[in-house]
Amino acid sequence: MQQQSHNIKVWFITGAARGVGLSLARQVLAQGDAVAATSRTLESLRQALGDDSAKLLALEVDLSSETSVAAAVETTIATFGRIDRVVNNAGYGQQGTVEALTDDELRRNFDVNVFAPLHVLRHALPHLRQQRSGHIFNIASIVGFQGGYAGWGSYVASKFALAGLTETLAVEVAELGIKATVIYPGPVRTGFLSKDSLVLAKRAIADYTEAQASLDLHLDGLDGKQAGDPEKLACLILQAAEYAKPPVHLFAGKIANAIAEEKLQAVRADLDGWREASDATDFAT
């Protein structure tokens, strides 16, 4: 086990071979912290981050396998002695209407976007609890806060689940000195819309024209033109990690902030419009 200075933080980052995960891993290393970086293949991590060093541990992990995740966490502890920051970043988009998606398509999406982070949390939390310190970052999406996008029900639902999980987690672990933050990025200029990160439903139903229009927009109009800078998003995560009282909800980018404001206004309008009828469903007092 390598002896780490008290001031050096150890980051466990999933999906670190590309996109936001790679940007974050590089910035963490640049500021002198240590990184346990996971990806589906060791080769992709080597190409992106280079060989292992005193502060870099590359881990080939099948996040859908709890055994694989458990081994990665234990190897990280054996190597660095602790974990201070957990970043559940790995995930992919599943496109397709609710009617068209198969059970297998839905479950695979949730396996990677929801159950994989839960594997990580179950095996990392005992160490954070023992330390009485740590910070968990769950990377959701703005669609995990405002889900009104035709054809993205599976992805939206998985990110809502991750957001709700983070809210509960933040309350559960607060007494243990552990923090939890859900990140809601808007569109980020990564490979998210590439064939490696976006899976199309095997079945398409022609009647759902809005869903097809949304898919066409993302593939033809947004790919490579997203407003979000992955380097600046990584910098935001590093910034939040330094705060004694970080936000539970952290929105990233002007688009995310604007969409969040629209959602809050829409919920307020529904709440106010139906308050009298809603209040009337209680037992009379």
Domains and CATH numbers, the chain: 10-274 (3.40.50.720)
Tokens matching residue 123: 């095996």
Q: What pTM did the predictor assign?
A: 0.92
Tokens matching residue 58: 């590359």
* CA dist., res. 29 & res. 55, Å (int): 7
Residue that is written with structure tokens 């996008």 in the block: 149
List the one residue out of 11, 59, 14, 61 whose CA is nearest residue 35. Answer: 11
Per-residue pLDDT of the chain (285 residues; tens, 9 = 90+): 554 545 899 999 999 998 899 999 999 999 999 999 999 999 999 999 999 999 999 999 999 999 999 999 999 999 999 999 999 999 999 999 999 999 999 999 999 999 999 999 999 999 999 999 999 999 999 999 999 988 999 999 999 999 999 999 999 999 999 999 999 998 755 555 455 568 999 999 999 998 888 777 767 655 655 656 888 999 999 999 999 999 999 999 899 999 999 999 999 999 999 999 999 999 988
Residue 99: how many other CB atoms lie within 10 Å: 12
The yes-or-no answer on residue 149 being catalytic is no
Active-site option among 155, 184, 208, 243: 155
Question: How big is the chain by its Cα radius of gyration, in Å?
Answer: 20
List the one residue out of 74, 75, 95, 40 whose CA is nearest residue 216. Answer: 95
Query: Cα–Cα–Cα angle for 199, 204, 210, nearest 5°?
Result: 95
